[in-house]
Chain A
Amino acid sequence: MWICYNIFEGDFMKIIVCLDDNSGMLFNNRRQSRDRVVCEDIVKNLEGEKLYISPFSQILFENFRDDVCVSEDFLLNGNICFVENQAVSQCDADEVIVYKWNRVYPSDFYCDIDFSKYFLTEQTELEGFSHEKITKEVYKRVV
């Protein structure tokens, strides 16, 4: 059931993911890691828009309920989507934001985005709450 389409043609779609050094996202159906600083940074940069997340991610944004929309089919409805446990390559997102943990965790579910279709436009470093250094990378789709 990994289906997603950006049905609103012409709408700008942004995907946000967190990855370890092996581009892993999950192990045993659980997120590899979490850091409150990442959530704060995501919400801080919404610029008035809503963040769309799945129920799986709800626990991360408990303190930002007014800023998020939670639904199973969030990828169908959202322009800015935080993705943890779904394949997104079919979404053809215009922009991808990657938060890199700079750690290796066990993984059995990996990011399926083909980054050869994107170019890196921005790279910054964050000091996390539980991670020494988190690298934030912004990729835009090659036109």
Chain B
Amino acid sequence: MKNKKIIGIIIAVVAVIAVFAGGMVLSENLVLRENVETTVADGALVVPNGEQSDGEDYGPSESSSGNPANNIQNGSEETTGKSGVAGVPETPSSPNSAGEFVLKLSDIPEYSGKPYYALNNNTPSFPGGNGGKKYYEKYAPLDNLGRCGVAEACLGKETMPTEERGEIGQVKPSGWKTVKYDCVDGKYLYNRCHLIGFQLSGENANERNLITGTRYMNVDGMLPFENMIADYIKETGNHVLYRVTPVYSGKELVARGVQMEALSVEDNGDGICFNVYCYNNQPGVRINYANGESEEFDDGIKPAIGKPVGNGNNGSDNSASSQNTPSGTYLLNTNTKKIHKPGCSSAKSMNEANKQEYSGSIQDLLDQGYSKCKVCNP
């Protein structure tokens, strides 16, 4: 017990020094791991991480094998909010002196057409499990550059939204610019990108949870992972430890990408287990991450559409969807190059001048550069 307290105090002191030193810049690359303040799902309490030095109830369990299921207290209710230390990750491959996981951008390969890249063999790092809390959410405060930090949660049906999503346009994340390109799905380069998606957290216009993210990262990078978690929770009623870390280079205002980690709790990762980096890029656009400025640019890299077959070693595409695409009548948006079903709700707001009815093969449209509407999925 005494040792734990001493360790906790040391961690607190190191954390305070790090914060006062400007905090988060480590050489050229760094990952924000500031959990100085935490908020919980009901917004009940805000506790500085460093002040929670007891560690007995909330710190990573020394006796724990790393199995988050070991830390579940059956029937325990919502977190008290004293959740500081539980969120501090440790990864054997690259912990820094404070025991924090440091992801170096130099370890991430250049974007080559795939929106995400598996880290650490897809193994996430949640040494403290859920800290004995059935569910919680924590969002780091903005740093002195106005940038988001780590968002972490133990997600469950309890954290999912119970109301329709509201407006978030009032939030201007660091590096935010409103800019449109024809080559971008929906035209707008940037989205206010939730670190923990609305469908998982119900967090709407929380400035600590919104970063400047490209449409590509939002939809092709992060959304599939959020979908997977959301559907898993709905189906099983289980919980998922989840952490999203925006990755900045130096003092840049726009994140280079986000690290997403997740681990299902009750089945100890059998259902959900991943650790990936999503590139905050946009094919066809060059971004100045220092300030969010951008320009059209053809880097010659096409987003991956070919799928490995079977065990992933064969690069040919034998997918059902690509080789047996249906034919029928569709509604096209000639401006956004989207294919809709005739009754699609998204098509109702379409400008009449851009509307075109089409009968034939979807594949022919895809070959012409059209893409399917994600709402109606024709």
Contacts and interface: CB of A to CB of B under 8 A. Distances in A.
Contact of B225 (A22, A106, A129): A106
B118 interface: yes
Given A22-B319, A89-B318, A118-B324, A110 B235 contact: no
A68 interface: no
Interface residues of B, number: 36
A24 B116 CA distance: 15
B23 to A, nearest CB: 32
Interface in A1-50: 2, 19, 21-24, 27-28, 30, 32-36
A107 B227 CA distance: 12
A114 interface: yes
Contacts of A86: 310
Given A30-B273, A98-B320, A110 B234 contact: no
B377 interface: yes
A23 B274 contact: no
Interface residues of A, number: 41
A108 interface: yes
Interface string B343-378: 000000000000000000000000000001010010
Nearest to B235: A130
A27 B307 contact: no
B294 interface: no
B78 to A, nearest CB: 23
Nearest to B322: A23
Contacts of B234: 129-130
B224 A23 contact: no
B308 A110 contact: yes
A24 B319 CA distance: 8
Interface in A86-126: 86-87, 89, 98, 101-116, 118, 120
Contact of B377 (A21, A89, A120): A21
Contact of B320 (A104, A106, A113): A113
A102 B227 CA distance: 11
A87 B310 contact: yes
Nearest to B306: A110
A130 B374 CA distance: 18
Contacts of A87: 309-311
A131 B231 contact: yes
Contact of B307 (A23, A103, A113, A131): A23
Contacts of A107: 224, 307
Given A104-B223, A109-B312, A114-B323, 13 more contacts: A22-B307, A23-B321, A30-B272, A33-B231, A34-B235, A35-B231, A101-B231, A107-B224, A110-B310, A112-B314, A130-B232, A137-B320, A139-B320
Interface of B: 116, 118, 122, 223-225, 227-228, 231-232, 234-235, 270-274, 276, 307-312, 314, 318-324, 326, 372, 374, 377
8 contacts: A2-B310, A21-B377, A30-B273, A32-B228, A103-B231, A104-B224, A110-B310, A129-B234
